[in-house]
């Protein structure tokens, strides 16, 4: 029985990239991430300001381009199979993270966070998310290597999450109902007043947490929830810690720019949630059948790209049709013969 388990794990590994990552390559990856974060914090967003749509669009293009460009680095270091797994993981994580952006918008709106302070709190949120993702990824890979049956658990959980996405609506999320937030407020002395971009301030000699601290804690909490979905999804296309972490890191690094670009456009993506559900269901099935059939990386990449593109395309077309119908109704009501 134990021998069969090891054979099954070996069969799955044969279909995925098997790479040897040198210490300097890990150092290079972490160095690139740190440099990009420092440039963003100390140069691009040194002064607190409201991020306009044009600025957010340019930054999003830059961040996504950096993530896509790293595909070439992975191909150079580890070969085509590894680069295919990286870009598949990048697209999965990027697509699933869009839902996270809309939840952030609800949190920011609930706490009435001034626009010029939102980027800084999201910066620290992304910084914490990178550390949390690393823990999830290393733990997940270790579990898969030790217990091959965990793949079925991950696969089943992804199918459950896909079904939940179809029948749930993030518009009903109420940050004020968070038990974690109530716990934070109970044990961390807080104030309702903002003090610029500071997470903590002093009032009457006491050190108090500003509302930005509560916002940061909620953002980190939501990332843990989303990581439970997205990390197993990426583990369906690669079991290499370097590839999974790199794809996650580059995908979430650009989420701040994406937030400022998409936060107010939730209603324009009517079919995005269904598209994400299809992607999660696909990778869940991929995990469940991996013992008998390995879905090629190129096919996974194709399915993910088609579903994501189609869901966004249908959403935008549906929004235009709604707008045209509204204009037609308004013109009909304003026509003299109808008054």
pLDDT higher than 80, residue 135: yes
Tell me which range, 71-85, 95-109, 190-204, is most confidently predicted by mean pLDDT: 71-85
CA distance 133 to 244: 10
Tell me which range, 125-129, 159-163, 297-301, 319-323, is most confidently predicted by mean pLDDT: 125-129
Q: What is the model's pTM?
A: 0.74
Which band of pLDDT confidence, cut at 50, 70 and 90, is reported for residue 156? confident
3-state helix, strand, coil in the chain (%, to 5): 80, 5, 20
Identify the residue whose tokens are 């799955």: 12
Q: At what angle do helices 211-235 and 150-166 cross, to 10 degrees?
A: 120
Nearest Cα to 123, choosing from 188, 267, 247, 219? 219
CA R_g for the chain: 22
CA distance 174 to 136: 26
Mapping DSSP onto H, E and C, the string for 190-253 reads ECCCCCCCCCEEEECCEEEECHHHHHHHHHHHHHHHHHHHHHHHHHCCCCCHHHHHHHHHHHHH
Nearest 5°: phi and psi at 10? -65, -40
The per-residue pLDDT for 66 is 93
pLDDT higher than 90, residue 10: no
The per-residue pLDDT for 204 is 76
CA distance 279 to 192: 40
Cα atoms in the Cβ-side hemisphere of radius 13 Å centred on 148? 16
Nearest 5°: phi and psi at 25? -70, -40
Nearest Cα to 86, choosing from 306, 297, 299? 297
Mean pLDDT, rounded, of the chain: 77
pLDDT higher than 70, residue 168: no
Lookup: tokens for 274:
């269904």
Inter-residue contact 279 to 95 (CB < 8 Å)? yes
Q: How many CB atoms lie within 10 A of CB 301?
A: 19
The per-residue pLDDT for 250 is 93
């Amino acid at each position: 029985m134990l021998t069969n388990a090891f054979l099954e794990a070996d069969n799955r590994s044969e279909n995925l990239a098997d790479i040897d990552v040198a210490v300097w390559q890990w150092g290079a990856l972490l160095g690139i991430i740190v440099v990009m974060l420092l440039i963003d914090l100390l140069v691009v967003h040194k002064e607190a300001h409201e991020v306009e749509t044009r600025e957010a669009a340019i930054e999003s293009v830059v961040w996504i381009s950096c993530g896509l460009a790293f595909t070439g680095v992975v191909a150079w270091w580890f070969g085509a199979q590894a680069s295919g797994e990286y870009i598949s993981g990048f697209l999965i994580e990027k697509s699933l993270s869009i839902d996270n952006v809309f939840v952030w918008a609800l949190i920011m709106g609930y706490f009435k966070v001034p626009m010029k302070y939102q980027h800084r709190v999201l910066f620290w949120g992304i910084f914490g998310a990178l550390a949390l993702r690393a823990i999830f990824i290393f733990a997940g890979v270790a579990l898969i290597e030790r217990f091959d049956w965990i793949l079925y658990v991950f696969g089943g959980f992804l199918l459950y999450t896909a079904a939940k996405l179809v029948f749930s609506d993030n518009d009903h999320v109420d940050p004020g109902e968070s038990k974690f937030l109530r716990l934070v407020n109970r044990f961390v002395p807080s104030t309702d007043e903002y003090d610029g971009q500071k997470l903590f301030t002093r009032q009457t000699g006491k050190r108090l947490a500003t509302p930005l601290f509560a916002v940061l804690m909620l953002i980190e909490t939501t990332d843990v929830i989303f990581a439970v979905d997205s990390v197993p999804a990426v583990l369906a296309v690669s079991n290499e810690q370097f590839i999974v972490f790199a794809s996650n890191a580059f995908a979430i690094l650009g989420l701040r720019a994406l937030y400022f670009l998409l936060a107010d456009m939730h209603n324009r993506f009517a079919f995005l949630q269904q598209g994400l559900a299809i992607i999660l269901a696909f990778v869940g099935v991929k995990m469940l059948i991996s013992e008998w059939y390995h879905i090629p990386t190129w096919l996974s990449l194709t399915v993910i790209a088609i579903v994501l593109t189609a869901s966004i395309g249908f959403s935008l077309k549906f929004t235009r049709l709604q707008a045209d119908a509204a204009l037609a109704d308004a013109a009909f009501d304003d026509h003299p013969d109808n008054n």
